[in-house]
Structure 1
Amino acid sequence: MRRPTPNWGWASLPCLLLAWSLLASRFPAYILPQPWEVALEGWRWARNGSLWPQLGASLTEELGGFSAAVLGALLLGTATGLSRRLRDFAAPLTGLFMAIPPIAWAPLTMIVFGIGYWSIVVVIFIAAVFPMAVTVQQGVQAIRHGEVRAARVLGASRWQLLRHVYFPASLPCLTAALRIGFSQAWRALVAAEMIGASRGIGWMVSTGGQIGNSSQVLLGIVLIGLIAWLMESLVFRRIERHYQTWRT
């Protein structure tokens, strides 16, 4: 009997911190601080209460833009997956919007909606909705026609087809769409906050660079990566495991 392959994922973070520390030892602290100095900077922000409004602002903007993008992607992806005419009509537009970097929309959204919540939410929506819609569309198209015909022979209505055939069979693509969409939305959020925001994690990184505070810049970068990792580990992987079991 073969022994299970050990999981060395636990060693990646200590190796990263060690490499960071060794690299930082070659530079002055104002250029590249040590990990413990960045942790101390985070403690200062948390202790004086400045950190929580930044996290709250970013998470609120992400929730608003990403939720709207999920709803839009489900509607658009399902519709284009079921209708070839609509798919042919939407394909050039989807390709066009996906080719434009989402951050390019930030100046326009700030002109229309002003600097703040709504302009950033719109950028997040544009960044996430089209990649997710394409993934959902591929999931719907991958469903075997024999299953659909069998359900129709048994008298399934359109709603029953969507609920009992299309939705379960497309679950792997739906979970992949959520991962892709959140990644795109999170990047767009940080970039938009760096360009035009008065608070948020991206604002922390931007202002830290303007005043030459490397610890603040790295603190923002660490928070960006940490939140993305927590979402992947605690949310998307659990959703994937749950629905893979449910689908089976």
Structure 2
Amino acid sequence: MQSFISRFSWSWVSIPLLLLIWCLCAGRVPAYVFPQPWDVAQEALRWASNGSLLQQFKASLLREVGGFSAAALAALMLGTATGLCKGFRDLVSPLNGLFMAIPPIAWAPLTMIVFGLGYLSIVLVIFIAAMFPMTVTIQDGIQAIRNTEIRAARSLGANRLQLLRHVYLPASLPAITTALRVGFSQAWRALVAAEMIGASQGIGWMVSMGGQVGNSSQVMLGIVLIGLSAWLAESMVFRRLEQHYQHWRVQ
């Protein structure tokens, strides 16, 4: 019993508690307004039986990977440059503030007018949504590195490339991981919103079409997929990244 208590985590309670609240709330209204969890499970089986569920998820995943990867690479280079160079930071900071203040979904109609309905327009919305928050977070991480560490490396003869590789990069890894977390969540939200506006497949399209035809089970299925995908990415990717770089940073 004591060993079980020592291994117990309150995180185990979260999902069952959420399902319980869901059942209690759904039981007070008709199923066509707010479905029960088993109604959503039946809807998932219906979509999965003909392969449509995997097709919608794959379409969203390809867009997310494309837009987020490009945004992460651009933010890493831009955030490092602005963190190291004050003049360049002063030049770019107003642009970061401007673009971060604009809701990413506001760009969706423009990108779809210019590039049409398809992969490129949605990926561009994801890129805009994720890059600027990640840039600012990485920039702050670079600036937070202590001058004593930099001076110590320089006193040992480190050049700029060695400083970047052995001081700036390891010390800023927590900020980079935080930036990836923030960027992924922003990218995922932008993806779903853009798909609801101008896509013919994807999780956002599922939610939008379900709302148009009054299928609340389909809407809830899309919402569950959105939340579950984000949770899996957090648990299986970002937490493992943290565990991986902690040992490197100590070294």
Unaligned runs of 5+ in 1: none
Residue 49 of structure 1 aligns with which residue? 51
1:151 corresponds, among 137, 150, 153, to 153
Out of 94, 98, 117, the position equivalent to 1:96 is: 98
Which residue of the partner structure matches residue 77 of structure 1? 79
In the other structure, the counterpart of 2:15 is 13
Give the counterpart of 1:33 among 24, 32, 35.
Answer: 35
Return the TM-score normalized by structure 2. 0.96
| In structure 1, distance between residues paired with 2:132 and 2:7 | 38
Deviates more, 1:57-66 or 1:46-55: 46-55
Alignment counterpart, residue 130 of structure 2, candidates 128, 131, 134: 128
Which residue of structure 1 lines up, in the alignment, with residue 117 of structure 2?
115
Partners of 1:178 and 1:99 lie apart in 2 by 19
Cα deviation, 1:160-209, whole Å, max 9, x if unaligned, reads 11110000000110110010000000000000000000000000000000
1:194 aligns with 2:196: yes
The alignment yields a C-alpha RMSD, in angstroms, of 1.1
Could you say what secondary structure the match of 1:191 adopts?
A: helix
Shift of 1:4: 5.5
Identity of aligned residues (%): 72
Q: For structure 2, which runs of at least 5 residues remain unmatched after alignment?
A: none
Which residue is 1:220 aligned to? Answer: 222
In structure 1, give the amino acid aligned to 2:200: S
Q: Give per-residue Cα distances to partners, 1:196-238, cap 9 Å, x unaligned.
A: 0000000000000000000000000000000000000111011
Q: Which of residues 65, 74, 77 in structure 2 aligns to 1:63?
A: 65
Deviation at 1:146, TM superposition (A): 1.8
- In the aligned structure 1, how far is the partner of 2:247 from the partner of 2:6? 22
1:108 Cα deviation after fit = 0.4
Q: What letter is aligned with 1:192?
A: A
1:153: how far off? 2.1
Could you tell me how far apart the structure 1 residues matched to 2:244 and 2:131 are?
A: 24
How far apart are the structure 1 equivalents of 2:105 and 2:225?
20
- The correspondence for 1:167, drawn from 169, 175, 185, is 169
- Partner Cα distance (1:193, 1:103) in 2: 10
Aligned to 2:142: 140
Deviation of 1:156 (Å): 1.4
Spell out structure 1 runs of 4+ moving beyond 3 A: 3-6
How far is the alpha carbon of 1:245 from its aligned partner?
Answer: 2.1
Partner of 2:108: 106
Separation in 2, partners of 1:216, 1:74: 38
